[in-house]
Structure formats: C-alpha cells, structure tokens
Structure 1
Amino acid sequence: MASLLSSWPWESFGVYKYVLYGPLIGKVIYSNAWLGINQDSWCLHLLILFALRALVHQLWSSFSNMLFLTRRRRIIKTGIDFAQIDREWDWDNFLILQAFVGAMACYVLQGLGDLPKWNLLGCLIALLLHVVVSEPLFYLTHRLFHKGYLFENYHSLHHSTVVPQSFTAGFATPLEHLVMCLVMGVPILGACLMGYGSLGLIYGYMLFFDFLRCMGHCNVEVFSHGMFEAIPFLRYLIYTPTYHILHHTEKDSNFCLFMPLFDLLGGTLNKKSWDLQKEISQGKNDEAPDFVFLAHAVDVISSLHVPFVFRTFASLPYSFRPFFLTLWPGAFFVMLAMWACSKTFLLSFYNLRGKLHQTWAVPRYGFQYFLPFTKDGINDLIELAILRADKIGVKVISLAALNKNEALNGGGTLFVDKHPNLRVRVVHGNTLTAAVILHEIPKDVKQLFLTGATSKLGRAIALYLCRNDIRVLMLTPSTERFQKIQKEAPPEHRHNLVHVTKYQAAQNCKTWIVGKWLSPREQRWAPPGTHFHQFVVPPIISFRSDCTYGKLAAMRLPNDVQGLGMCEYTMERGVVHACHAGGVVHFLEGWKHHEVGAIDVERIDVVWEAAKKHGLTPVSSS
C-alpha cells in the first residue's frame, strides 16, 4: 500500500486534470460577466500565476536544451532519455496543489483585491522572513527527507532523475510540495498579515522563487567563476546549478534552498562545489562526439519538433497539432533569422557503446533545397559542418536525406573530392537504406514498379533485384539513363530491367517502390491491394484507402543506447532513418572508406549483415 501523500489524487486523470481549475475559471467568469464586479479577482490572479509559473519552467527547459548554446557548460553530460521524460510528464501537478492552497489563503486574507499593487517595505520584510525562516526551514526539512522512511517513500522519487532539468524542480510527492507551500508562504503571509502585502510582492516572490529553483535544476552552469573570486562571500548567498547538481549526484551534501550559507553552518557543504563550478564555467566539460548525423528541417511546423521547444512533444513521433499554428509566425521569423545568419547547430545526442553520437542540424528547410539560388549556400553549410567535424576529431559524419541530394552535391562526392585529406569519414548511408527497402519486399514478388528509378537508391535497388530474377518496371523519361543502368547489370539478367515512361504500365503491378512524389492522380493507376514502399522525402500522402503505405526506411537502435530522448521526425522512439543507422554501422564497424556517390550494390548485403550484428533491427521485424 502506498504511503499517505506519496502520489497525486488526480494521477490517473491525464490531461483532464486541468478541469480542476474549472471552479476558479467559473468564478472569474461569473463575477465579471454576470455580477459585473471584480470581487473575486484573486481567482484570476491564481490562474495568471499558474500560467506564468509554468512559463518560467518551460523557458528554463528550452534554455537548457539549446545544446548549441549550453553544451560547453553542461554539468552532467548524459542525455535526457525517454524514461525520465515520461516520469516527469506531469511535473506541473504541484501548480494545481498550490492553486488550491493559494485559494484557501486568499479567503483567509479576504481576497487579493484589497492589496495595493506595490509596497517596498513589504518586499523587504518578505526578504528578511525568507532568510530567517524559509531558508533554515527548508534546510532542516530537506535533511529529514533524506533519512530512512521519508527518503524511501517520498524523496527518492525526486532523486530518481538522472539528469535534472527545470521540470525536475516540480517532480516530487504531494507531501514535499505541501512543505514547499509552507516554505514559500511564510514570507508572503508574514508581510500580508503585518499589513505590508502587495500584488507585486506575491507575483515577484513566487516567480523569482520558481526562477531560482529552475536555475538550480537546469544542468547548465550560468554563473562566471570570476564573480565569486571577486566577491568570495557571494558564494554563500546564492547557489549555482553546479552546487545543486552535486546534491543530486552526491545526495548527502548541499541541502540548502538558495543560500549555501546554511550548508556551511550545518557542515553539509560539498568541498568540490567551487572547484567544479570553476571548471564547468570555463567550458572544460565539453566532449567531442565520435559520430555525427547531419540533419535538416522538413518544413516550418515540423521544425518545432525539437527538445528546446517542447521536450515532451519532441519525445513523440512528429504529427501535426492544430495549436502549433499559433507558433507558426515565431517559427517563420526564426527561419528567416537562420537564413540570414546561419550556422550548423547541435540538436540532440545519445551514447552508444560508450561513444558519443550527436545530431547536428543544418538551418535549412525542405523547400529551400529546391531553390536554385540556395544551392551554393547549403553546400557551404554542409562543408563547414564536415570541416568542423574533421577538426574536432569526429570519426564519421552521416548526411540526412536532402543534405546528400544528388543534384546538390553528388551524394557527398563534392566534399570528398574537394578535401581529399579528410580524417572524418563522410557517409550518405544509402547502402543500408537500400538494404532495408529490399528486405521489406515479400519473397514471392516476381515483378514490381519503381519510380525515381535512376536516382542513387533507384539504381541500386533495380540492379540488386534484377540479379535476383525479379522483373523491375523502371519509370524514367530518359532512355539514355535507363540504358546506362541496364548496362551495369550482368548480361544474363538485363532482360529483368524494363523501361517504362507512363504510370499506366503498372496498373497490374501490386508492389510499388516510390522514389518520386506521387500525386493522387498518379496513385490511381495502382491496382487495389497495392503496397507502396517508399524512399521519397517528404513521404507520399495516403490517398488510397484500398492500398497500404510503407514508411520511410528505418531501423531500431540497439538496446544499449543511452540518453536518447528525441524522436527522429515521424519515427517511433528509438528508431532512426536508415541513412542515420547506416552511418552508425559505418562507425561501429570502423570502416575507413567514404560512402559517397553511387551505391556499391556488392556492399548491400555486407552492410545489412553488419547492422544485424550490432543489434540494429528493421522496424518491421523489431
């Protein structure tokens, strides 16, 4: 049986828990719309405070997940995994509890409407009460929560988080947050009962309280060590993120709320606090990755599918959400800003086999790759990323879909030819992509239809299948390009490659491999029961209800991957595009060649077997 106040009463409500704010909303509407008075303005203030406090936590989360800004000052270098995100999903439960407590306090104080907007003396009194009462009260109760029964049944939940973030500040049991209500309430209630309360005090104190709590949990050192060297006593008046993170890694030290002075007086100050803070604030905690996947955005809306926008949304496969339309103007402005002054940035990272794997992103969107005047600029950005990777010691850099477009840079050949002495291996990963698509085709298929037939993938797929005596209808308007590919096939198998120029040729073929976007009109030529395999970006839209549509080629990462907390576009958790997986296999195998340009058909089976050997599995069979 669970201990009293160790779980939330509305734990099973899901998103419906916000209905609990209904009485406050109803009271605001009733007072203003029906009674025409503002006697219950405290209800409105509680709702505004909920929104502002949630915003404080979200902004700190966004900041700490902006790895392109914070990577050198990260304290714990491990990534935030899906398990932690799921545990902290309902981090804001404490805001509902404190709204209830605040409502009761407002009745005691006869409503906030009678309070002035500002009172400087009240703020000074609240500050004094915070130092004299709240800080030692939190310190003593925090130490109690680290002992025996209280830690095992209550506080251990908070310490189950491996990599603290701003949301971790709210991740605790109801009992702990009731104590926190007391800690926060003493300065506010004290000032109000003395007749010096104000709205500015309530808003300012609560928001600043949350600001400091989130700062301590953000896992990014924000203070310069020079400030503490210039004013030594300052280190006892304000804690740092490094100071608080040490409490999570070595839990029997650094118990203070915001002022390390009380750890000093209580003999619980971790001796490593200042040296570690100096080391991290100087950026000495940075680590060069061994593998990099160079990604790009697909469109403006999907660019919001990143951890520094909404961590929870990024941990789920991308899907369009109507409320994102409200964020579209801001995302569009950011797109223009990145276009004007762009730089490849770090998006996410994970650890595999003890090696650091990072995802970098080129600040370009799908449609920009098809504008003639952007070609050189995009290639410059990709080249810059490759040279940077080479400089810092990256072993393999893998190019995402459009970053290796044949018309853009010849599948990466441009960079390898331009820089023949690269130590980093440039990989397009298409060999494994071809392998995944080929192994999805049922064994009994004797004929299929292939669009995008003369692309890198189309060519490799056609040549591989014809060698296995499968008849391939290759759709291409160019007879010359078809004949060039046909000549690469062994003479005894060339008859399996058939040149077609119209979709009507496939009206009796139920297996389509799509490498070129299909309109509804083009899809109608497929007979009922057709399955569309595809390697086109973006994927084709499922217009036909009597047909089935495969997803882009993908593989599930090995089970020993650590710190992975972001879904790659529409892929499931732990699943990456096959070209990403191809780069991972290249790195794990320690291959020394570049994988650029045309796909070596002879290596398709080699790469496939290597992927399986290292624990990567195709999504369809995982």
Structure 2
Amino acid sequence: MASPLSSWPWENFGVYKYVLYGPFIGQIMYSNAWQSMNQQDSWCLHLLILFALRALVHQLWSSFGNLLFLTRRRRIIKAGVDFSQIDKEWDWDNFLILQAFMGAMAYYLLQGIREFPKFNLLGCFIALLLHVMVTEPLFYFFHRLFHKGSLFTNYHSLHHSTLVPQAFTAGFGTPLEYIVQGMVMGVPLLGACMMGYGSLGLVYGYVLLFDFLRCMGHCNVEVFSHGMFETLPFLRYLIYTPTYHSLHHTEKDTNFCLFMPLFDLLGGTLNKNSWDLHKKIRNGKHDQAPDFVFLAHVVDVISCLHVLFVFRSFGSIPYKFKFFLLPLWPFAFLVMLAMWAWSKTFIISFYNVRGRLHQIWAVPRYGFQYFLPFAKNGINSLIEQAILRADKMGVKVISLAALNKNEALNGGGTLFVNKHPNLKVRVVHGNTLTAAVILHEIPKDVKQVFLTGATSKLGRAIALYLCTKNIRVLMLTPSTERFQKIQKEAPVEYRHNLVHVTKYQAAQDCKTWIVGKWLSLREQRWAPPGTHFHQFVVPPIIGFRSDCTYGKLAAMRLPKDVEGLGMCEYTMERGVVHACHAGGVVHFLEGWQHHEVGAIDVERIDVVWEAAMKHGLSPV
C-alpha cells in the first residue's frame, strides 16, 4: 500500500486535471456578476494568473536549458534527457495546482485582509528578512529530513530518480514535499501580510522569484561567471549556482540549501568540489566534442516547433499538426526570417551509442528554400561551414539529411569532398542503407515492380539491385539516354530485366510501386487495387487511395543501448530515425574511412545492411 501523500490524487486525470481550477473560475464569475465593485474579490483571478506565470517561468528555463547551440559548452551533466525522464516528468505542474489551493486557503483564513496595495517597499524588506532568517533554515532542515529513511524512500527519492536536472525537475515530486515547500515559501508572505505590509507586488514578485531561482538551480547550465566569485568570495555563500545544486543530485548527502550555501557551510554539508567544478565548467574544460553528427534541416514553418527547446513534451512524440500550434505560427514565421538572416548551423539534440556522443545539428533552412534557385549557393555554404566546423572539432562522421544531399544541390555531397580533399571527417549521405531498407521491404515473391524517380541516385541503385535478383523493373523516365546509361551498368545477363516506360499506364497491372517522385491523385489512379506504395520521396506522397497501402519513408530503429535520446525525428516513432541518419551511425560504428557521397555503390548495399544488423539496428 502506498504511503499517504506520496502520489497525486489527480494523476490519472490527464489534461482533465485542469478542471480543478473550475472553482476559481466560478468564484471570479460570481464576484463579477453579483458583487459590487467595492466588494469584488479578485484573489482567485490573481491565483490563476500566478499559475500561468509560474508555468511560463518553468517553460522558459526549460527552453533555455535545451538551447544546445547556446549552452553546449556550459552544460553540467553531459547526458541527454531521454524519453523515460520526459514521461516521468510529464505532469510536473501538479504542484502548481496544489499550491494554488494552498494560496486560496491562506487568503481566506486571513479574513481581516481584503485589499492589498499594489506595492509596499517595507513589506518586501520584511519578506526578505523572513526568507533569510526563517525560510532558508526551515527548508534546509526539512530537506535533510527528507533524505533520511522512509521519508526519502517514500517521498523524496522520486525527485532524485531523474538523471539530468531540468527546469521541470524542480516541480517533480510528491504532494507531501510540495505541501512542506508551500508552507515554507508562505512564511515571508504571511509574515509581511500579518504585520500589515503585504502587497500584490510582494506576492507576485516573491513567488515568481522563488520559482525563477528553483528553475535556475535545476537548469543544468552554468549561468554564473567564476570570476564574479573570485572577485567577491562572500557571494558564493549568498547565492547557489546550477553547478552547486547539480552536485546535490549526484552526491545526495551534500548541498541541501534552498538558495544560500551559507546554511550548508553552517551545517557541515557543503561539497568541497563545488567551486572547482564551477570553474572547470565555466572555462570550457568540461566540454566534449561529438563523434558523429547528423546534419538535419527544417521541413516547414510549423514543424520547426517540434524541438526540445520549444515544447519538450511535444518534441518527444512523433510530429503531428496540433491546433494549439496555430497561435504560434506568426512567432515561428518571424523565427524563420531571423534564422534566414542569421544563417548559422545549430545543435538541436544529442544522444549516446555505446558511450560515444552523437549530435543532431540543423541547417537553418526550410524545405521550400531548397527549391529556390537563388538560395542554392547560400545553402551549400551553410552545409560546407558545418562540415568544416565538424572537421575542426574532431567529429569522425557527418551524415547529411534528405535535402542537404540533394543531387541538384551538391551532387550528394560530392561538391564538398572534392573542394576539401584533406577532410578528416567522413561525409556520408547514408543512401546506401536507405536503398537497403527499401529493398528489404519488398516481398520475396514479387516478380515485377514499377519505379518512379528511376534515374535518381536511389532509383538507379534500386533498379540495378533488383534486376540482378531477376525482378522485372519498369523504370519510369522521359529520358531514353539516362535509362540506357543505367541499363549499361547492369550485368549483360540481367539487362533485359530493366524496362523503359514513359507513362503511368504501363503499371496498371503492377501491385508493387516504388515511389521516388511525388504522385498526384490522378497518377495514383493507375495503380491497381491492392497496390503497396514503397517510397523514398521527400515530402512523402499523400495516401489518396483507400484500396491501396502506403509505406513510410525508409527508417530504422536505433540500437537498444541508445542513451539520452528524447526527441522524435519528425514523424518517426521514438527511437526510430530516417535510414540516411542510421546509415551515418553504421558508418561511424564500423569505423569506415571512405566518404559515402555521390552515386550509390550497389555492391555495398548488402554489406551496409549486414553491418546495421550486427550493430543492433533493426528495420521498422
């Protein structure tokens, strides 16, 4: 049987838990409708506003902590935030509901206090004194108490179960913890109010500053300069740092204070490594270069919000348009313009495979921009800068996402390898594994396929591979010359399996379509009922036909020993990445020293597939 107050009464309500704010809304409506201006009670309204502002503080600190392109060198714990931590902390805001009710109870117990002034400077000074003299030592006492015996096991261990502190971790715990925290936090406010010096400014300011400092301590990014503490040594005992608090999560018997390390000094629980670690992080000596980089790109305006530094929970599930994103569209559009102007590759996520750091970088360009003729040189310049940056950092392999390796853009990466022949980093388009995934999706009893985009890099490799398996390939292309060029690459005894077609009508009896070129409804109508559309076209085709089935873009599930992965790759499931991404991972794990650019080496398709299987990757 669970201990009392160790779980939230509404933990199974999902989003319906916000119905608990119904009484507050009811009170506001009643007060506005039935009470005179002089009698109206606005406290419930202020509590709702405080709830929204407190949630915003946590969200903004979470966004800051996940802006890896700004904070990478100052991150304290280097591990990534994985899906299990995100799920565990999904309802981190439960404590805000609890403390809103505590605030309402406290207010109505003080029946003699009805109207607060907007601001009272003396009340702020009194609250500060009470915080230092009462709240800080009380929190220190209770915090140490929660680290003992059954109190830790039943209540506080949940807060310490997350590997990487984040702003949302500051709100993750059990009801008993946050009842105690609410009572301790309320001492300065109640004290100032009972003395007659309370004010709305004090309530808003103290509560929001309290949350601000709590989130700062959990953000996992060092924000204070070490030089400040060297110049004014006494400051290190008056304000804690994220590094200081992170040591409490890794070494649980030290650094118990709320915001002032002075009480750890007095209590003998101050970790002696606090300042040395702080200096090491601020000097960049704690930094780690990635071994592998996947260079992604943004797809469209709304999907750019599908990243950890916007909404962590949204980024941790496969991308799907949500109506709550519509109000953010103008903001996202402005960000797009800013990114277009700023033009600098940035880090959006990272994870570890077998202890080796893999990072996902993004080129600040949107899908439609790749098809603007005047944007070609600028995009290639950005990709080139990313490759050179990776080379300088000591990255082993950099893999290019779909449009970043477009044949018309840079010849599948050939442009960069030819321009910089002395690159130490291996440039990989990953399409060999993409071809292998598509080929292994085709049932073994298939004797004929219809292939669009047949003369593309992937189309050519698929056609040449299938023809050697005695599968008849209907290659759709208007160019006889390009077809004949590919046909000549096939062994003489298999060339008859490659058939040149110029119209979709040629496939009206073929139930296996491999799509490398976007298909409209009119074009899809030529497929017979029961057709399955395999595809490697970006963006994927729309499934117009209810009597046919549609495959997704080629993808693979990462090895089971992946750590720190907390973001879904666009529409892919958790732990699943596009095949070109997986191809780069395999290239790195195998330690291959060649560049994989330009045309696909058909003879390596099976080699790459077997290597992927060996390293624990699996087809979806």
1:7 aligns with 2:1: no
User: Which residue pairs with 1:608 in the alignment?
Assistant: 609
Does the residue aligned with 2:348 lie in a helix, a strand or coil? Answer: strand
Match of 2:16 in 1: 16
Q: Deviations over 1:454-478 (max 9, x none)?
A: 1000000011011111111111111
Question: Which residue in 1 is equivalent to 2:590?
Answer: 589
Shift of 1:175: 0.3
Deviation at residue 110 of structure 1 after TM alignment: 3.6
Structure 2 residue 75 is the aligned partner of structure 1 residue 74: yes
Distance 2:444 2:21 in 1: 57
Shift in alpha-carbon separation, 1:526–1:11, aligned structure 2, 3 A? same
Kept after mapping to 2: 8 A contact 1:41/1:112: no
Q: Which residue in the other structure is 2:434 paired with? A: 433
Does the 8 Å contact 1:164/1:245 carry over to 2? yes
Q: Structure 1 residue 602: deviation in Å?
A: 0.4
Deviations 1:120-174 (A, max 9, x none): 0000000000000000000000000001110111111000011000000000100
Q: Match for 2:31: what amino acid?
A: S
Give the alignment of 1:114-133 within 5 angstroms.
114-133=115-134
**Cα distance change of structure 1 residues 408 and 45 upon mapping to structure 2, 3 Å threshold:** same
> Are 1:207 and 2:231 counterparts?
no
Query: Letter of the aligned partner of 1:565 in structure 2?
Result: G
User: Quick one: which amino acid aligns to residue 105 of structure 2?
Assistant: M
Per the alignment, residue 195 of structure 1 pairs with: 196
2-structure distance, mates of 1:510, 1:42 = 67
Q: Could you say which residue in structure 2 is the equivalent of 1:567? A: 568
Shift, 1:33, TM fit = 4.3
Instruction: Map 1:23-62; keep pairs closer than 5 Å.
Output: 23-33=23-33, 35=35, 37=37, 39-62=40-63
Amino acid at match of 2:298: A
Structure 2 equivalent of residue 286 of structure 1: 287
Task: Write the distance in 2 (CA, Å) between the matches of 1:110 and 1:312.
Answer: 41
For residues 506-521 of structure 1, the aligned pairs below 5 Å read 506-521=507-522
TM-score (normalised: structure 2): 0.99
Q: Secondary structure at the match of 1:472?
A: strand
Counterpart of 1:160, as a letter, is S
Partner in structure 2 of residue 492 of structure 1? 493
Aligned-CA RMSD value: 1.0
Closer/same/farther in 2, CA of residues 529 and 127 from structure 1, 3 Å limit? same
Q: Which residue number corresponds to residue 241 of structure 2?
A: 240
Whole-angstrom distance in 2 between the partners of 1:226 and 1:449:
67
Equivalent residues of 1:41, 1:113 under 8 A apart: no
Cα distance in 2 between the residues matched to 1:106 and 1:126:
17
- Distance in 1 (CA, whole Å) between partners of 2:476 and 2:207 is 65
Counterpart of 1:21, as a letter, is Y
- Tell whether the 8 Å contact from 1:316 to 1:573 is kept in structure 2 after alignment: yes
Per-residue deviation, 1:479: 1.1
CA distance in 2, matches of 1:578, 1:195: 66
- Opposite residue 220 of structure 1, the aligned amino acid is V
- Tell me the secondary structure at the aligned position of residue 213 of structure 1: helix
1:420 deviates by 0.6
CA spacing shift, 1:147–1:577, aligned 2, 3 Å? same
Alignment deviations for residues 188-212 of structure 1 (CA, whole Å, 9 cap, x no partner):
0110011000000000000000000
Q: Which amino acid aligns with 1:186?
A: V
| Structure 1 unpaired stretches of 5+ | none
Percent identity between the two aligned chains: 85
Note the alpha carbon deviations across 1:537-571, whole angstroms, 9 max, x for none. Answer: 11111111111111110000111111111111111
Q: Secondary structure at the match of 2:350?
A: strand
Question: How do 1:95-494 and structure 2 match up within 5 A?
Answer: 95-110=96-111, 114-494=115-495
Question: Which TM-score applies when normalising by structure 1?
Answer: 0.98
1:518, CA displacement in angstroms? Answer: 1.1
Can you list the C-alpha shifts for 1:23-58, whole angstroms capped at 9, x where unaligned? Answer: 111221232245564723111101000000000000
Residues 225-269 of structure 1, C-alpha deviations (whole Å, 9 max, x = no match):
111111110110000000000000001000000000000000000
- Aligned equivalents of 1:45, 1:476: Cα separation in 2: 66
Checking the alignment, whether the CA contact within 8 Å between 1:119 and 1:196 is kept in structure 2 is: yes
Structure 1 residue 439: Cα displacement = 0.2
* Equivalenced residues, count: 619
In structure 2, C-alpha distance between the alignment counterparts of 1:4 and 1:115, rounded to whole Å: 36
User: In 2 relative to 1, CA 243–111 (structure 1 residues): closer, same or farther, beyond 3 Å?
Assistant: farther
Q: Residues 40 and 111 of structure 1 are in contact (CA less than 8 Å); yes or no, is this contact kept in structure 2?
A: no
Range 486-495 or range 114-123, more displaced: 486-495
Mean CA deviation greater in 358-367 or 23-32: 23-32
The CA distance in 1 between the partners of 2:183 and 2:556, in whole Å, is 50
Relative to structure 1, the CA distance from residue 111 to residue 428 in structure 2 (aligned partners, 3 Å threshold; closer, same or farther) is: farther
Residue 530 of structure 2 corresponds to: 529
Q: CA deviation at 1:113?
A: 5.5
Query: Deviation digits for residues 66-105 of structure 1, max 9, x if unmatched?
Result: 0000000000000001110010000000000001111111
Provide structure 2 residue ranges, at least 5 long, that are not aligned to the other structure.
none
SS of alignment partner, residue 155 of structure 2: helix
> Following the alignment from structure 2 to structure 1, what is the Cα–Cα distance between the partners of residues 434 and 499?
23
The C-alpha deviation readout for 1:488-537, integer Å capped at 9, x for no partner, is 11111111111111111111111111111111121111111111111111
For 1:359 and 1:417, the matched residues in 2 are separated by 24
